[in-house]
Amino acid sequence: MYCPAHFDETRLPVLHELMRHHPLATLVTVGANGLSAEHVPLLLRRGAAGQDLLVGHVARGNPLAQAHLADVLVVFQGPQCYVSPNWYASKVDGGQVVPTWNYAVVHATGTLRTLDDPTWKRALLHELTQAHEQAQPHPWAVDDAPAPYIERLLGAIVGIEIEVTALSGKWKVSQNQPAANQASVVAGLRHAGSEQHHAMADLVQAFGKPPAP
């Protein structure tokens, strides 16, 4: 991933927060048939040795379910949106502005293995459900469904675990713009009004820094 220094994000808590808040990952592998990309919700865990682990499950019919050890790239996409030249305060000074796209993204590389142990898979389903249901007024639990039904579904999935060997982050959130442009971009994003625009406005305010003189 091309990443100029002013967009580079290396702080693990920041990278982990994006991964937890945007768990639907693009999982890229290279096999006998070339490149493949799957879209899988993944949960970030801390391993026994302190390493980062990403866990999830795929359908038994998915080719990933047949993998033993495979090198993978996992991409987590955070907030992203188009930035209009009209939002730059400097537009009035000769009009030397162009559109761009702001985004935050994390790349994780590591080794994937599959797990088909029913106890492991059941514990994973409970953990995933608790993580994603906690904001619900009346959280659904795996045990709310009939036991025979859950048993059938457990047989239809295979667990995956990725031991992360490297993490990199790119926060392209207007750090290369002067402070006046950052402030006007935030105003433009707030006015646009969508959830994505508001999330990006928050990032520009939190991470944007004026370019070095």
What confidence score (pLDDT) does residue 137 get?
A: 96
Question: Is the pLDDT confidence value at 211 over 80?
Answer: no
What confidence score (pLDDT) does residue 213 get?
A: 55
DSSP the chain: ----GGGEE--HHHHHHHHHHS-EEEEEEEETTEEEEEEEE-EEEE-TTS-EEEEEEEETTSGGGG-SSEEEEEEEEEEEEEE-GGG-GGGGTT-----EEEEEEEEEEEEEEEE--HHHHHHHHHHHHHHHHTTSSS---GGGS-HHHHHHHHHTEEEEEEEEEEEEEEEESSTTS-HHHHHHHHHHHHHH-SHHHHHHHHHHHHH--PPP-
What confidence score (pLDDT) does residue 181 get?
A: 93
Range of weakest confidence among 103-107, 166-170, 206-210:
206-210
Average pLDDT of span 60-80: 92
Q: Which CATH number fits domain 5-79+102-175: 3.90.1170.50, 2.30.110.10, 1.10.1040.10, 3.40.50.1860?
A: 2.30.110.10
Contact 72, 162 (CB under 8 A): yes
Instruction: Give the integer Cα–Cα distance in Å for 17 and 206.
Output: 14
What confidence score (pLDDT) does residue 210 get?
A: 58
Average pLDDT of span 128-154: 95
Residue 137 Rama label (left phi>0; alpha psi -120 to 50; beta) = alpha
Distance of CA 91 to the CA centre of its chain: 33
Angle between helices 195-207 and 179-192 (to 10 degrees): 160
Instruction: Give the integer Cα–Cα distance in Å for 49 and 20.
Output: 20
C-alpha dihedral (184, 188, 194, 198), degrees to nearest 10: 10
Instruction: Give the integer Cα–Cα distance in Å for 110 and 166.
Output: 7
What confidence score (pLDDT) does residue 180 get?
A: 92
Q: Percent of the chain having pLDDT more than 90?
A: 84
Question: Is the pLDDT confidence value at 127 over 70?
Answer: yes
pTM of the model: 0.92
